[in-house]
Structures are given as structure tokens and as C-alpha cells.
Structure 1
Amino acid sequence: MEDVRTALTAYVTEGEPPLGLSGDAVLAAARRSRRQHLVTGAVAVCVVVLALALAVVVLPHRGEIASTPCPGGTDTRTALVERLSCLVGRAVRALLPPEAQISRLTIPGETPPADPFHLIADPAGPHPQDAVFHMGVRVTDARGTGSVYFLILPGGGGGPKCGDPEQLVCRTETTPAGLLWLSTLRSGDIVTNRVGLAAPNAHVQFWSTNSGVLSQTGVRLPKQRSEPTLTLDQVRLLALTPGLDFPL
């Protein structure tokens, strides 16, 4: 928890933290904290493999998704997780083809939840919103396998400064929901479409890649489709999903 709190504090207090680096650093700290509490060994690996196979789902019909309202609670961390998970899952599903299959991206030893969009909340403080809320899913469709990630942090945060040599596209956009940072990056064979939103009380990030392998520091990802699962415009739509914010 201390690693998460330190990374989160650094993230939200820096003037303009680089979106691609600071966000990944926070996730790395969160993953380190979770690894300390996970069972290791061959038995655990077998359980994860089995659970991951069971976690692959075929998307329900669009009407079925839209007919179920998302929970509205925000008074506890559990309620926030339920609300945000529903909003994120519904928004991502709406942009994917009906035949797409989704499975949760997990760290070693972690059992995926039944709902691949159920957020992890790594604590960073006493209040419900004081946490790193995040998830990543693998998406397989007719064009190959890629991924979609989500991260939300308390505080407005900042965005990337254009000029990184890996950036193919970089721009900002002012919207009623807050300032958007939009970028497309290429690192070797891997292309990432990433959008961040500085909402009133939160910093929201979505990104999509053309690899279905979990993005981790120091790990070279394999290219598994020609382009990311979602276009930059689609990732922009995700970042502007209504309700992705924390209460005052």
C-alpha cells in the first residue's frame, strides 16, 4: 500500500506529469503491492490458467447491455468499484463487434474476476476515492488480438507534452468534461492509442494496443494485430464516458 500511496502522491502533485510514464508508474506500484498478497507456485498458476480460460466471454446483445442501469453508489470504495466497473464495461462493449471475445489481463498468481471489466482498487488512502482504480482486458476479434486498459486516479493530473519521438499523434482538446490529451505512440511493433481526461475530481485514462499480452515494465510485447483494438477516436469516446469522476 505504501508503494501505491507514494506513486499516487507523486502523480497528483506534479505539475504536468507525463501521461504515458506516470500512469504506468502508478500501475507498476499497484501491481507490486498486489503481488505481495498473491499465492505463488505451480498450484496457483494452474488455478489462474483455468480461471483465465473461464473468464473468456462472448459479448451479450447491445440491447441487453443498455437495459441494465449501472449502480449509483459512491459512499464506499466497493460501491465506487461497482459503479465504475459497470460504466467502463458498458462503454467498451458498445465499441466492440458482437463476436469479440474478452478475457481479463492478470499478473502472475492473480485469479481473474467473473466480470473481466471489474476494476481493481489498490488503496492509497482512507477515503473511498483514495485508490488506483484500474483494469486491462484482452480482446480477440476477426482482426486479431489486442487490449484495452483503464485507469482512474483522484485529482486532475496532467498530460503528455508533445515531442516524444515515439509519438505519431499528439494533441490536446478542451471539452465540457475537462481537458483531453490524445496521443498515438509506436514502440517497435506496438502501437498504443491513449487518451487522458482531467475531470474535475479525477484523472481518467484509457488506452488500447495491438497486443493481447499484459503491458509491464521491461517486457517486450508481441504484435498480435496490425492496429490497436480501438482507434484513437474510439478511445476518446471512452474517456468522455459520463460518470467517470469522483464525488466532491
Structure 2
Amino acid sequence: MEEVRTLLAAYVTEGEPPLGLSGDTVLAAARASRRRHLLTGAAALAVAVLALALAVVVLPHRGQVADVPCPTASDTREALVDRLSCVVGRAVRALLPADARITRLTIPGETPPADPFHLIADPAGDAPREALFHLGVRVTDAAGSGAVYVLMLPGNAGGPPCGEVGEVSCRSEQTSAGLLTLSTLRAGDVVTHRVTLSGRGSLVQFWSNNSGVLQQSGVRLPGQRPEPTLTAAQVRLLALTPRLEF
């Protein structure tokens, strides 16, 4: 995970102006590192075949989800992952149609977890919070397939600045939780709503698009529904979800 460590070390020590770390940049480093790790095991070939399968989950009844409180512990990385995964999963599920199907998006060689919202934590240090927490899920409903992604990492620098290639709109908003940057981007047939919250010593970024194919740097995605799975307003709500601090 040296690429992740180097990238996050630069991020958390960056002075002004903010570094403006993008999801594509940091996830590309994490995925490349995990690919090498996964493919060096003795069972790499078998795992690569298994990774072609997707974990499909039908949403449970919202009452069943709400009846079970999320964990509160954060003293170990495993406990922190469990807590954040529960909070993220519950927040996203609340915004989706009751009959939506959730599919975990994986890289080759990666076996999807039983819970599609179980966060990946790519280490960048020894402390529980010193990691790149992220996941991507495919959501299929009556309108087609799209995706929802989340990226969380420690540090005080800002997210991607306005003025990106393919930008349709971009604005900033100061909130009690920190600075929100809200962007809509277009690349071919794919539209992405992205919101970044920078504040309280961490960066939280959610985005949603209208393609159920795993987003990867340099890969052109196909549009698989008219609009992103979540609206810009819904993605904003996710970024402001309580208890995402770490």
C-alpha cells in the first residue's frame, strides 16, 4: 500500500493552497496497489475468476434496518470500518426505491463482501483513522443501472476545485460541518453528481452517476439510465450525514 501511504501523506501535510485531491487519483492508487496484493497469492487465479461475480443484495425493509442501531466503537480500524459502513449503508438505502438491487463493484481479484456497504480501508498509517475508506455500489431499479461511491480520508486540504474538464456546474457552500463543494460533471453519456465535505480533520466525498460499470481512471463508461441514481440534492444529504466523522 505504499502508493496510498505516499498519496495520503502528501495530502494530510499539504499547506495552502489546498491540494484538491480527486476521487479518481486516490482510488486509482488504491486499486493498483490492491490488484498487485490480490494477484500475488497462491489462490490468485481462483480469486480472479470468483471476482467476476457480483454480490447482489435486495434491500431489506426499511423498518428492519432502522431497528438495529449502528456500532459506536472506533478504537480499532475494524471497529471504525464497521461503524462507518453501517452509517453509510443506512443513509444510502434510505434514498433508494424499496425494490432496488445493490451490487458491489469490485476490481479483478477481489471477492465482494456479504454487505455491499462494507467499506474498504486501505492503510496509510498505524492509527485507526489513517486509511483510505471507500466503496462503490451498483444500483439497479426500474430506470436502469447507476452507481453510488463514497471516499473518506483524514486531512484538512480541500477537494477537487471548480473548473474541471466536463464540468456542468460547480459551487461551494459553507456549512456547520465544513466546506461543501457541489459539482455536476459530464463525460459522454455519463453524468455525475459529486459532493465533497472538507472539515473537522477529514474529507468525505460522495458521488453518483448513471452507469453501473466500475468507474476507473481513463475508462469511458456507458450510460445505463437517463439520470444518476441519486440527485444532486440527495448526494448533498449523504455528505452531511451525521456520525461520519472519524
For this structure pair, what is the TM-score category when the shorter chain's length is used for normalisation? over 0.9
Asked whether the 8 Å contact 1:76–1:128 carries over to 2, the reply is: yes
Aligned to 1:87: 87
Question: How many angstroms does 1:68 deviate by?
Answer: 0.9
Listed as ranges, the matches of 1:212-223 within 5 Å are: 212-223=212-223
Select 1:18's aligned residue among 8, 17, 20: 20
Aligned to 2:183: 183
Listed as ranges, the matches of 1:1-248 within 5 Å are: 1-14=1-14, 15-19=17-21, 22-39=22-39, 43-50=46-53, 52=54, 55-246=55-246
Query: Matched residues in 1 for 2:120 and 2:7: separation?
Result: 16
Question: How many angstroms does 1:209 deviate by?
Answer: 0.8
Q: Secondary structure at the residue paired with 1:208? A: strand
The TM-score with structure 1 as length reference comes to 0.93
- Say which is worse superposed, 37-46 or 137-146, in terms of deviation: 37-46
Query: Matched residues in 1 for 2:199 and 2:163: separation?
Result: 24
CA shift in 2, pair 1:46/1:2, >3 Å: closer
Question: How many angstroms does 1:41 deviate by?
Answer: 6.0
Question: How many angstroms does 1:38 deviate by?
Answer: 1.1
- Output one character per residue of 1:3-36: Cα deviation in whole Å (capped at 9) or x when no partner: 10111122333332335xx332111111111112
- Say which is worse superposed, 235-244 or 4-13, in terms of deviation: 4-13
Corresponding letter in the other structure for 1:171: R
Query: Matched residues in 2 for 1:201 and 1:35: separation?
Result: 29
Q: Secondary structure at the residue paired with 1:121? A: strand
Measured on the aligned residues, the alpha-carbon RMSD in Å equals 1.4
- Say which is worse superposed, 233-242 or 38-47, in terms of deviation: 38-47
Q: Which sections of structure 2, spanning at least 5 residues, go unmatched?
A: none
Q: Secondary structure at the residue paired with 2:103? A: strand
Asked whether the 8 Å contact 1:184–1:194 carries over to 2, the reply is: yes
Question: How many angstroms does 1:43 deviate by?
Answer: 3.0
Asked whether the 8 Å contact 2:211–2:225 carries over to 1, the reply is: yes
Question: How many angstroms does 1:65 deviate by?
Answer: 1.2
Q: Secondary structure at the residue paired with 1:116? A: coil
Seq. identity, %:
67
Q: Secondary structure at the residue paired with 1:36? A: helix
- Output one character per residue of 1:143-191: Cα deviation in whole Å (capped at 9) or x when no partner: 0000000010011220333233411110111111111010000111111
Query: Matched residues in 2 for 1:97 and 1:228: separation?
Result: 14
Q: Secondary structure at the residue paired with 2:228? A: coil
Query: Matched residues in 2 for 1:3 and 1:45: separation?
Result: 22
Q: Secondary structure at the residue paired with 2:52? A: helix
Corresponding letter in the other structure for 1:18: G
Q: Secondary structure at the residue paired with 2:37? A: coil
Corresponding letter in the other structure for 1:44: V
Asked whether the 8 Å contact 1:199–1:245 carries over to 2, the reply is: no
- Output one character per residue of 1:99-148: Cα deviation in whole Å (capped at 9) or x when no partner: 00001000001000000000000000011100000000000000000000
Question: How many angstroms does 1:45 deviate by?
Answer: 3.3
Query: Matched residues in 1 for 2:23 and 2:18: separation?
Result: 12
Equivalent residues, number: 241
The TM-score with structure 2 as length reference comes to 0.93
- Say which is worse superposed, 83-92 or 217-226, in terms of deviation: 217-226
Q: Secondary structure at the residue paired with 1:156? A: coil
- Say which is worse superposed, 197-206 or 131-140, in terms of deviation: 197-206
